[in-house]
Amino acid sequence: MRNVARSATTTKIAASVALVAGTAAVAGLGTFGAFTSTTTATQAVGSGKVVMNMSAQAGQGFEVATTNLVPGDTVQRAVTLTREAGSEKFGSVKLTTTAGANATKLVTDETAGLQLSVDQCTTPWTKAANSKVLTCTGAPANVTSVLAKRTVLGQNVDLNGVLAKLNADATPSANLRVTLELPTAADNTFQNLSDTVTFTVDATQRAGEAR
């Protein structure tokens, strides 16, 4: 009788162990059971560019040196600004004029030194043979002032009306005549002076927009 009781006890313990092990197995199956779905897409992206070019017109651009000026003389130079194909439109167009390291009163004197003005023509500027005077076909109706007369040196000066021309879809270009004048107020202290004026035109990008 004692042997029977001991056997029964052993059986109950074994059954309890088996039940615990089975519960652990069921819990494990619940951890790995899940429905999933995945989708992907690619988006092509690229940055734009802002490019403006300057070229001479009528063989009378900035590459032509100017010497022997006397009070009352004027210098006219013709250039074309162009927004390069594929370039984004511009938000502003500004002119900066600077002198060399050893600038003289020829450019630094705001009253009697060189004066600058810029005009725009709807067509390229032209000049007659043996002449340095630049004219606009259909003038004065086709001529607009881009920069009124002012001292030759200046920083970030707006070129009024140029932006619209450079942002045009058909012909994104502007025909400019740059005029330098030595005023009659220049006295003998202006004799035999020489300088270099650098013209820098900066174009900035258009405003950001939804693309």
* Per-residue pLDDT tens digits for 14-42: 444 444 545 555 555 556 689 999 999 99
pLDDT in tens, 116-149: 999 999 999 999 888 899 999 887 889 999 999 9
**DSSP character at residue 161:** T
Q: What pLDDT score was predicted for residue 103?
A: 95
DSSP SS3 for 111:
coil
On average, the pLDDT of the chain sits at 88
pLDDT tens track for 57-82: 988 999 999 999 999 999 999 999 99
Average pLDDT over residues 205-211: 93
Q: Is 58 left (phi over 0), alpha (psi -120 to 50) or beta?
A: left
**Would you state the pLDDT for residue 14?**
41
pTM over 0.95: no
Is residue 159 within 8 A of residue 93, CB to CB? The reply is yes
Q: What are phi and psi of 27, to 5 degrees?
A: -60, -40
Q: Of 5 and 82, which is predicted with more confidence?
A: 82
- Of 137, 135, 138, 99, which is closest to residue 116 (Cα–Cα)? 99
* pLDDT surpassing 50 at residue 151: yes
Q: What was the pLDDT predicted at 33? A: 82
pLDDT band for position 12 (cuts 50, 70, 90)? very low
How distant is the alpha carbon of residue 93 from its chain centre? Answer: 9
